[in-house]
Amino acid sequence: MATSSADMKTKVSWRRFKDGDDVWHSLTEKIFVQDTSHKCPTYVHKTPPCQGSCPSGEDIRGWLAIVRQQEKPPVGVDWQEYAFRRSTDANPFPAMMGRVCPAPCQDGCNRNELEDFVGINSVEQYIGDTAIAKGYGFVAGPDTGKKVAIVGGGPAGLAAAYQLRRKGHACTIFESNQGLGGMFKFGIPGYRVPRDKLDAEIQRIIDMGQVEVRLGVRVGQDVTIEQLEKDYDAILWAIGCQSGRGLPVEGWAGTPNCVSGVAFLKAFNEGRMKVTADKVVCVGGGDTSIDVVSVARRIGHIQNAKPSDLPETVIHDGYVAHDAAVAAKAQGAQVTLTSLFPRAKMTAAEHEVHDALTEGVTILDGVMPIALIKNADGRATGLKVCDCTMDGMRPIPVEGTERVIEADLIVSAIGQGGDLTGLEPLDNGRGLINADKFHQVPNKPGHFVAGDIIRPHLLTTAIGQASVAADSIDEYLRQEEFSRRPKVDVHHFDLLRKMEEAHLAPERFDPAERGDMRGTSGGNWAVHNYEDRSGAEIIPHDELFLGHFGYHARNLRKEEVPTAEEVLGHFKERIIGLSEVEAIDEAKRCMSCGMCFECDNCVIFCPQDAVYRVEKGKNTTGRYVATDYTRCIGCHICADVCPTGYIKMGLGE
């Protein structure tokens, strides 16, 4: 049946030819008379752009293939566990990252060229939540007898402990707070990161064994660098950036009711701050600022607050806490978020901005702070702002647009910095620690670094850096040269390892016994007609046959976002995860860029019957089809109709 014109307009797939493009260009010469061509199909693995965009370097295409039921697990392993193992090869926090990662992978997804990106976050959340429900754990590697000190128990430190235990090295985590989790626990509110699931993912790492945890210990104050160097074989600095930057306006420092977003969220997440001020103004535009204003709307304020109930008292002190009875008297707070950038260019995730507006936050975009308004007691009573335009990252004020926003509490969420008190030998002069390409501290052998203390960025970035640092620490402890990192530095699919897992590994080849057999494709001594370019190339959408893919709407997670009237005291998790059926269907939207997903197009369309399915029992992911080169005439139809770009014309020319 013909496609309706309505569907053609609203459910666009992809067209190779545009209207008016109706001339065939010498196909007879280019395709059908190719019996003298030396080019025949070869199978080329490339990195998909989702994975190339992922700072953690997850094998996203791989675990989506498992969830969609295409890549089969080993005997005795269910697919949920297999997907979990593949996902956590790079990142031990699928339940957390599936919720809070801003998902640069989805921005890079080639399916954006059709109707919409694949909901990678939503499938990752399903994998993580299922793993917790089923009690999957991690396995440590054989003990090496080496000990590594990890300074900082946030995402980078915990991810490094996980990777190092997989390599068999014992770890001790030194954490200055009274709990592990770093920004996961103290920087993101519980309605975004459920504490039971966060604690489960942290405990899974501790349960690997030989992960000692020392809480409330500040290295540089309670323990010296020299002591760590004496007691441990290597040190990883993963202390993060837990001091917020103040606004660049006169009088900010020392004004009691002017606080940082980091301190605000820490006081809330530790359970000490239970109410805020009547009028809250937050300056930012990123995810931290969204969390600040969302929290402020939820906890509200109390009228006629005593000095000890003022939010800044709790925030600045670090030990003082609000009485639980205070929260029962809370009324709604007026909350305003200002951003230098227009709303479309704010760095916060688009859906987070939308949720904040739904919850009753006022957002003023394209606005810059220019001065504090204070009363006789030295407290801020307002923030003077004006409209601005942006010259790169520099705001330019618009004359005549100045006005004052009334405020009882002003929060700066414009960035974070490190606190290297007691660790001055590591300070690069900017309150951060330098790292070389192997994540070693320059000119300090045995000292490595990962996470925000290098440069504040995403949680997923810190986790990816921890993986690289763990590799470098392992090589350092084994007294090996640091391995050259690939251009596309991620956790790649390994065809040989997959074949070994499926008991299909090539046989040992002995030249003395076999002789010189270069060029053969008949013997089972190598992975024939396959090239792995994943370490060097990311496959773009124009190498895919997008015409293969029909319209397939994204499976959207449901969200429980309170209205402005409902938000006070609303601490339920906002995101409702996908069901198993929905997760499988969403994974099926993946186009498997750069790797065969067994569609049979090449077999069906080959005019010479040269391309064939590998015999059942001898096939596996990446080895589903092969070519009989005695039949192949080099017509390249198989490459043209390969949806994933896995087939390239090569060999000989």
Q: How many CB atoms lie within 10 A of CB 33?
A: 12
pLDDT in the model for residue 342: 94
| pLDDT at residue 644 tops 70 | yes
Residue with structure tokens 């790649």? 492
Alpha-carbon dihedral angle through residues 63, 65, 70, 76, given to the nearest 10 degrees: 0
Q: What's the CA gap between 176 and 153, in Å, rounded?
A: 8
Fold of 140-242+418-477: FAD/NAD(P)-binding domain (3.50.50)
Distances (CA, A) of 593 to 107, 422, 555, 587: 15, 49, 20, 13
pLDDT in tens, 425-474: 999 999 999 999 999 999 999 999 999 999 999 999 999 999 999 999 99
| pLDDT at residue 29 tops 60 | no
Q: How confident is the model at residue 130 (pLDDT cuts 50, 70, 90)?
A: very high
Q: How many CB atoms lie within 10 A of CB 145?
A: 9
Mean pLDDT of 527-542: 91
Half-sphere exposure of residue 277: CA atoms within 13 angstroms, side-chain side: 29
Q: How confident is the model at residue 521 (pLDDT cuts 50, 70, 90)?
A: low
| pLDDT at residue 653 tops 50 | no
| pLDDT at residue 249 tops 90 | yes
pLDDT in the model for residue 520: 58
Tell me the CATH number of domain 244-415, given options 2.102.10.10, 3.50.50.60, 3.30.2310.20, 3.40.50.1970: 3.50.50.60
pLDDT in the model for residue 382: 97
pLDDT in tens, 270-326: 999 999 999 999 999 999 999 999 999 999 999 877 888 889 999 987 778 888 888
pLDDT in the model for residue 1: 40
pLDDT in tens, 327-345: 888 999 999 999 999 998 9
Domain boundaries, the chain: 140-242+418-477, 244-415
pLDDT in the model for residue 133: 98
**Which residue type is seen at 306?**
K
Burial class (CB in 10 A: 0-12, 13-18, 19+), 628: middle
Contacts of 344 (CB under 8 A, 6+ apart): none
The token duo for 435 is 């790292």
Task: For the chain, give the mean pLDDT.
Answer: 91
pLDDT in the model for residue 106: 96
pLDDT in the model for residue 13: 59
pLDDT in tens, 345-376: 999 988 899 999 999 999 999 999 999 999 99
The token duo for 296 is 């402020």
Alpha carbon 607 to chain centroid, angstroms: 44
Q: Which of 403, 482, 419, 481 is nearest to 456 (CA)?
A: 419
Contacts of 618 (CB under 8 A, 6+ apart): 504
pLDDT in tens, 143-166: 999 999 999 999 999 999 999 999
Alpha helix segments (H runs only) across 88-136: 94-100, 104-108, 120-134
Longest CA–CA span in the chain (Å) reads 94
pLDDT in tens, 607-633: 999 999 998 888 999 999 998 888 888
Q: Which of 334, 351, 352, 353 is nearest to 342 (CA)?
A: 353
